Amino acid sequence: MKIESVDLYYLAMPAIKNIGDGSQDALLVRIAAGQWVGWGECETSPLVSMANWACPMSHSACRPVRDGVLGQRLETPADIARINAEVRKLGLDIAQTDHTLSGIDIALWDLLGKRRGEPVYRLLGDKQAYPKTPYASQLFGDDPQQTLAKARTMRDAGYAAVKFGWGPFGQGSVDADREQVAAAREGLGSELMLLVDAGTVWDEDVSAAAARLSMLDAFEVTWLEEPFVSGALAAYRELTARGSRVQMAAGEGAHNFHMARHLIDHGGIGYVQIDTGRIGGITPARRVAEYANAHDVTYVNHTFTTHLALSASLQPYAGMADHTLCEYPVEASDLATRLTKDQLRLDADGQIRVPESPGLGVDPDPAVIDQYHVDVEMYVAGRCVFRSGAIAGSNTDTAGEVARGGDMAD
Amino acid sequence: MKIESVDLYYLAMPAIKNIGDGSQDALLVRIAAGQWVGWGECETSPLVSMANWACPMSHSACRPVRDGVLGQRLETPADIARINAEVRKLGLDIAQTDHTLSGIDIALWDLLGKRRGEPVYRLLGDKQAYPKTPYASQLFGDDPQQTLAKARTMRDAGYAAVKFGWGPFGQGSVDADREQVAAAREGLGSELMLLVDAGTVWDEDVSAAAARLSMLDAFEVTWLEEPFVSGALAAYRELTARGSRVQMAAGEGAHNFHMARHLIDHGGIGYVQIDTGRIGGITPARRVAEYANAHDVTYVNHTFTTHLALSASLQPYAGMADHTLCEYPVEASDLATRLTKDQLRLDADGQIRVPESPGLGVDPDPAVIDQYHVDVEMYVAGRCVFRSGAIAGSNTDTAGEVARGGDMAD
């Protein structure tokens, strides 16, 4: 079969807050081939990736994502790898290509799984999926009291591990951070795993991060996530060389396999966290999982949004029994929470498993898409190059003109 | 003074060819503050960066470039560094931000130089600019005969160094590549410096690149440029470990200081090639130049387009006497060639110098902008978020609405 159409849907909450909550909007990808439909999601700025999908060619290595996707043959996982490589080659000089490709790649795996009647992890070569221990992932409270309350709520909900991140952490004094972490530990009690996410707040300032290490260690924090931006390998290396029991976690900023590998090879991280919505999809994420597994680094998904994104992010390491943690969003927006009727819920043991149904096992609800859908139109030299008209709109033709067709029927 | 307006201009040749010629379109940036105007240029897909400039906020680390620029104070080089850091922070989760920021940063330096009455290199702290030896940069011919003719033309034009790249090179057999390189060397004669640019054709395949090393060495090729994508550090390291006299050159794909540093720290390259239109502007390019200088790696600009981009790309190392080569475009499009009336011409010794006039010393010609200008409009939820109407259009307000104002008068 051939890829016949690709539709992009920009969903957004009515008001977007200036906080570190990435679930406030979404870019959904719907791909149709033969009688099958697959869904994916990009972790991206929707408008930027829509432009990246539809932009005019600038030169042979600066072409729109659509040029590497529409009309391509899709029969096997090798076809997905080929499409992935082709999109990157054509889009070499467009940095956004990695983010846009991510949702495409995920939708292709979903589609192929549905056609084969198998979950994606099996198409990746794994025989069975192992349960993962979810860590409840949320923002720090605005003050320690809020953080204390959030921690108690998650402990009462039965989570064995909880992460706090962003918010005021790292923006003020070491003492202020200590109060936040103390509140988190107090609320969780001594048994639960506590993780802290600095959200790149120190950029590449090793001393600022190092000043928190003993405090984090005292509260038995398992990992300090993203003290620095992803590229600051020397800063990561310098910090990990201090030999703290607190390990470093990073990787959500990796846009391709190489960037994740660099953190493992040269950054000294203990956990590599991959967002399949950003690294180019399930294909490169799987490669990172295999590389991490071979280099004694623990692979973890990065997911703060929908259960579609969650299922996609679990597939690359679902079959790896030794990598047992998973990020689990607990305070996503209404849009992200309700997008899929199917959800990956905690089982009786408090564990998460990927769906055993074909593909990703979670489809978006058309009513929720309709509720939160944002129309986008782009004109270049008076010609409409992109239009996402309601949920019946299509932006999928191969001729460079905007098509009228396409619908949600699947 | 404060940054009052930013205008983006998408220029394009009437027909874009599917070849590795990056001069076929351009994204110009015009910034106004006080009574001053500065110009910059992004090496990017214009539509994608326009979306990146104007996109709605997704969350606190996924905001449009405009949010870090409009209304900012601009008095000193430190202000430019602050704006650069702020844009990257707000745009952390939008990969395209680095490319879009590039033209902004360049225009800010140009503007500040004009206000101070000094060329940019002096604002960077250098007392004088040293001449650079230009290498004529062009694509391989479609066949060895064309390459031979191109080489002879450049030798007759007086260039001391010539680079051939892209085209058929690396796409076929080693023998086919040998014929191309042999033709280039024959046309140049034995004295001229010959450089070869593989244009990332082997992705990360070390054996494919290694199979060409002895041939390149036999024709006394000084560097092999971009055998692999920028992130493939392990492939670069493996190839440089072979110990060939042919050195590796790379860096045009670096989107920030860190990526360029990784090629120096972990890739074993001999030349680092930075495009100020892609790495985030003159600010991070300067940092790379200083890092390269301290680590015995030769800094070279990457420029294949206009003389505005050329002046910008030379500023970071104009004051470094030991880094003597510069890339010089010799077959750019009509648009790129004619964009600026001021040009950086070879002097009587065949050398290039950055202009001594204030700022970058080269301004775009309004008539050429008008001739090649492409209108762009973007609508989100029925609201126009970006419009580049003719050259009198503006897209610069701070309120999120499209403004009517702005003009070319400067």
Query: How far apart, in whole angstroms, are the C-alpha atoms of residue B30 and residue A263?
Result: 37
* Chain B residues 358-387 within an 8 A CB cutoff of chain A: 374-382, 385
Last residue of a domain, one of B321, B338, B355: B338
Query: How far apart, in whole angstroms, are the C-alpha atoms of residue A272 and residue A278?
Result: 14
User: How much is the average pLDDT of A36-41?
Assistant: 98
Burial state string for A349-381 with b = 16 or more CB within 10 A and e = fewer than 16: eeebbbbebbbbbbbbeeebbeebbbebbbbbe
Domain co-membership, A245 together with A334? yes
* Chain B residues 90-129 within an 8 A CB cutoff of chain A: 92-99
The answer on pLDDT for A147 being more than 70 is: yes
**Among the listed residues B108, B111, B67, the one whose alpha carbon sits nearest the alpha carbon of residue B90:** B67
Domain assignment present for B402: no
- DSSP H helical segments within A348-395, as ranges? 366-372
CA distance A258 to chain B (A): 5
Q: Which residues of B touch A376 (CB under 8 A)?
A: 378-380
- pLDDT tens digits in sequence order for chain B, 410 residues long: 999 999 999 999 999 999 999 999 999 999 999 999 999 999 999 999 999 999 999 999 999 999 999 999 999 999 999 999 999 999 999 999 999 999 999 999 999 999 999 999 999 999 999 999 999 999 999 999 999 999 999 999 999 999 999 999 999 999 999 999 999 999 999 999 999 999 999 999 999 999 999 999 999 999 999 999 999 999 999 999 999 999 999 999 999 999 999 999 999 999 999 999 999 999 999 999 999 999 999 999 999 999 999 999 999 999 999 999 999 999 899 999 999 999 999 999 999 999 999 999 999 999 999 999 999 999 999 999 999 854 433 444 433 334 322 332 22
Residue B402 sits at the chain A interface (C-beta within 8 Å): no
Q: How confident is the model at residue A5 (pLDDT cuts 50, 70, 90)?
A: very high
Mutate to test the interface with A, among B59, B275, B371, B386 (most CBs of A within 10 A): B59
pLDDT at residue A226, as a whole number: 97
* Chain A residues 212-241 within an 8 A CB cutoff of chain B: 229, 231-234
Domain co-membership, B54 together with B20? yes
Query: How far apart, in whole angstroms, are the C-alpha atoms of residue B408 and residue B207?
Result: 53
**Which candidate from A17, A60, A96 shows the least CB-CB separation from B18?**
A60
DSSP assignments along B273-314, one per residue: EE-TTTTTSHHHHHHHHHHHHHTT-EEEE---S-HHHHHHHH
Domain co-membership, B313 together with B165? yes
What ipTM goes with this model? 0.94
AA letter at B269: I
Domain assignment present for B358: no
Pairing of strands B373-374, B3-12: antiparallel
Please give the angle made by the CA atoms of B250, B256 and B257, to the nearest 5 degrees: 80
Residue A46 sits at the chain B interface (C-beta within 8 Å): yes
pLDDT at residue A389, as a whole number: 57
Domain co-membership, B254 together with B369? no
Place of tokens 């860590």: A135
Cβ contact B379–A378 (<8 Å): yes
Domain assignment present for B345: no
| Residues of the domain holding A191 | 123-338
AA letter at A345: R
Cβ contact B51–A60 (<8 Å): no
CA distance A50 to chain B (A): 8
Domain assignment present for B392: no
User: Across the beta sheet with B193-197, what order do the strands follow?
Assistant: B298-301, B271-274, B247-250, B221-225, B193-197, B161-165, B133-139, B325-329
Domain co-membership, A294 together with A245? yes
Residue B265 sits at the chain A interface (C-beta within 8 Å): yes
Domain assignment present for B284: yes
Neighbours of A401 (CB within 10 A): 10
Domain co-membership, B103 together with B149? no
Domain assignment present for A351: no
> Do B104 and B281 form a contact (C-beta atoms < 8 A)?
yes
Domain assignment present for B110: yes
Q: Which residues of B touch A374 (CB under 8 A)?
A: 380-381
Domain co-membership, B213 together with B115? no
The domain that holds A111 is classified in CATH as: 3.30.390.10
**Which candidate from B62, B266, B380 shows the least CB-CB separation from A266?**
B266
Contacts of B288 (CB under 8 A, 6+ apart): B251, B254, B257, B260, B261, B272, B274, B279, B299, B316
Domain co-membership, B177 together with B325? yes
Minimal Cα distance from B67: which residue of A? A18
Domain co-membership, A145 together with A268? yes
Domain assignment present for A26: yes
Domain co-membership, B138 together with B110? no
**Which candidate from A96, A233, A374 shows the least CB-CB separation from B380?**
A374
- DSSP H helical segments within B91-119, as ranges? 97-116
Residue B274 sits at the chain A interface (C-beta within 8 Å): no
The domain that holds A293 is classified in CATH as: 3.20.20.120
CA distance A393 to chain B (A): 14
Q: Which residues of B touch A85 (CB under 8 A)?
A: 203
> Do A366 and A391 form a contact (C-beta atoms < 8 A)?
yes
Q: How many domains does chain A have?
A: 2
Domain co-membership, B239 together with B333? yes
Domain co-membership, A131 together with A114? no
**Among the listed residues A386, A397, A407, the one whose alpha carbon sits nearest the alpha carbon of residue A52:** A386
